[in-house]
Amino acid sequence: METQTTTSSILTGTTLKRAIIYARVSTDEQAETGTSIDNQVEKSLAYAKANELHVPESYIFREDYTGKVLDRPELNRVRALIRAAQVDALIVYKTNRLDRSEWGVNLLILLQELKSLGVELHYSQAKRQINLHNPVEALMESISGWQAGEDHRETVTKLHEGRLAKARKGMPIVHDRAPYGYRAIREDKNWELVIDEDEARIIRLIFEWYVGGDDTGPLSYYKIAQKLTEMKIPTRADKDPKFVKTKRGKGEWYASTIGYIISCETYAGVWHYDKRGKDKSEWIAVEVPAIVSRGLWEVAQKIKKQKQERASRNMRYQYLMSGRLTCGCGEYKMAGFGSKSRGRVYTYYRCGGLSQGHKCGLPHFPSGKVDDIVWQWAEDVLRDPQRLKYGLEQFQAEQAKQATPIQQELVVLEELLEQHTNDLNEALASLKVVLSPRAKAAIAADLERIEGTLDSLESQKAELLERLGNSTLTEEDFVTINDWAAIVARDFETIRRDFPSKRYLIEYLDIRGRLAVEDGQQVMYVTAKFSVNKERLLIASQIT
């Protein structure tokens, strides 16, 4: 690794080490003293200057992201530079800027990675370097990481408990983000919902159109969104800067927004809290002013249920490439649809964005023809040993490049698992011989921490192995794919008639496609585990 040399360093006979600064904050931490991005960077730059660490401007990374996960966009770039031997030292403000995961497991991974690559770790708040080769200091750091995770979990728990208590007292927990149709009014740290009559009129109109329709009959989510857009009715994001504005234009409504409004019981006078992962009977119900009558809301739910049941019945049609096609408009997945006309069934793929009001412009693609062409392409490759072998080898070579960072992280995880397994065994052995109740309690607490860390490490390992398995081909995969090729070559007519076998093969080979129109032709670009480059397949020579 090269170090940075400057005029002043030549005169003093020293060589500056190249350092990288990583600063992080997340939304729920903005109120914490000293955690602002600018403050972290300022303190870290001052520390670097005082300790003769050179920080290129491009080596300052700022991130607004949760510290509970290791997969963060800017942290990934930092780790890539570290792995590429472009850095001598990493400077962060303090421990919890690197990690706030449960049991501090992510900090353990980062510490082990820095140690194995010979990169120093510095904390600018404490103004000190961490000796990663000192077992005691490394242990204290791991405990600090665990404590940061515990502090974060305790803070979240207290906030949640406070919100639960307020909800049980009949207070909606909306802060300043009320549902469309309402305004949130704050009184003495508590919030209440009041009806916004301008928006409430639109809510009532949406329910009336969905249940009773207009002069053309009952309207779908998409038709309602289309009408509101044509009427240039402002959305909440158009009027309130606190709400995220999508790339759509002013006054453009989503069909999904209409679906949410129809389903939301708040408009019938009942706001719910603590819904995640629970049965509806366990939700906390809070009475709020109703915008529509209970009767109208319940009729809307019955209509919605009937439409969902009809859509579910349509899924009896078989779509070989279901969930594996994207639209050439570049924004949405293709969805399979079926319809009957004069006793005949028609199935096709169409842009999924159409149900959300997206104006796609591409035609429907006959699903039978698309599926047949994809299957024939896969069959042709599987029946050609040389073509299959070449494709598999090319795919494996390409994916191996992408798998390297995952493999490096797995090595670090294995080392950590071994270390903590040894720690666990030592703690268990100590527990057997100590007699003091206090000593036993201290060892038991340590055992709980070690076991929690081991569980988190095992979970991370399983996740990485799954990611690695999805992105690489093993020798077993080669054998399996070649076995499939032999079966297809021997009895492809039988396989062709067996939809489950074909679908399994499509999924196993990760065959995906993009449907488009080029020069008046319907085409598809396909990829698979035996095809690094996209292959162009003709669906129809003319659009009818």
Residues 67, 109, single domain; the answer is yes
Domain boundary among 314, 333, 363: 314
Residues 18, 119, single domain; the answer is yes
What pLDDT is recorded for position 467? 63
What pLDDT is recorded for position 209? 92
The tally of domains found in the chain comes to 3
Residues 187, 152, single domain; the answer is no
What pLDDT is recorded for position 90? 95
Residues 186, 152, single domain; the answer is no
Residues 149, 188, single domain; the answer is no
Distances (CA, A) of 280 to 3, 265, 273, 294, 380: 61, 12, 10, 18, 51
Residues 11, 62, single domain; the answer is yes
What pLDDT is recorded for position 336? 85
Residues 459, 421, single domain; the answer is yes
- Greatest extent of the chain over all pairs of C-alpha atoms, in Å: 91
Residues 143, 206, single domain; the answer is no
CATH no. for residue 426? Answer: 1.20.58
Residue 383 lies in a domain: no
Domain boundary among 314, 330, 357: 314
What pLDDT is recorded for position 206? 93
Q: What is the pTM of this model?
A: 0.42
Residue 353 lies in a domain: no
CA end-to-end distance (rounded Å), the chain: 62
CATH no. for residue 137? Answer: 3.40.50.1390
CATH no. for residue 274? Answer: 3.90.1750.20
Q: What does the angle CA 188 – CA 189 – CA 193 come to, to the nearest 5 degrees?
A: 95
Contact of 334 with 365, CB cutoff 8 Å: yes
Residues 90, 147, single domain; the answer is yes
Residue 282 lies in a domain: yes
What pLDDT is recorded for position 487? 64
Residue 377 lies in a domain: no
Cα 70 from Cα 60, distance rounded (Å): 18
Residues 224, 150, single domain; the answer is no
Residues 137, 230, single domain; the answer is no
φ, ψ dihedrals at 351, nearest 5°: -60, 125
Cα 391 from Cα 263, distance rounded (Å): 48
Per-residue tens of pLDDT for the chain, all 544 residues: 555 544 344 444 456 789 999 999 875 554 444 568 888 999 999 999 999 999 999 999 998 888 777 888 889 889 888 988 889 999 999 888 888 776 667 787 888 888 888 999 999 988 888 888 775 565 565 555 455 445 555 545 554 455 555 556 555 555 556 788 888 777 766 767 889 999 999 999 999 999 888 877 778 888 888 889 888 888 877 776 555 444 455 778 877 788 889 988 889 988 776 455 456 666 777 788 899 998 999 999 988 888 777 665 555 578 889 888 988 887 688 888 877 777 777 888 988 877 666 778 888 899 889 999 998 888 888 778 788 777 777 776 766 665 566 677 777 778 888 887 887 788 778 877 777 788 777 777 777 777 777 777 777 777 777 666 655 556 666 666 777 677 666 666 666 777 777 787 788 778 899 999 988 889 999 988 777 667 889 988 755 4
Residue 511 lies in a domain: no
Cα 56 from Cα 17, distance rounded (Å): 11
Cα 79 from Cα 184, distance rounded (Å): 43
Contacts of 204 (CB under 8 A, 6+ apart): 291, 292
Residues 82, 138, single domain; the answer is yes
Domain boundary among 314, 347, 365: 314
Residue 507 lies in a domain: no
Residue 541 lies in a domain: no
Residue 537 lies in a domain: no
Residue-wise DSSP of 91-140 = EESSHHHH---GGGHHHHHHHHHHHHHT-EEEETTTTEEE-TT-HHHHHH
Single out the residue of 165, 209, 213, 207 nearest to residue 189, CA to CA: 165
Domain that holds residue 34: 7-157
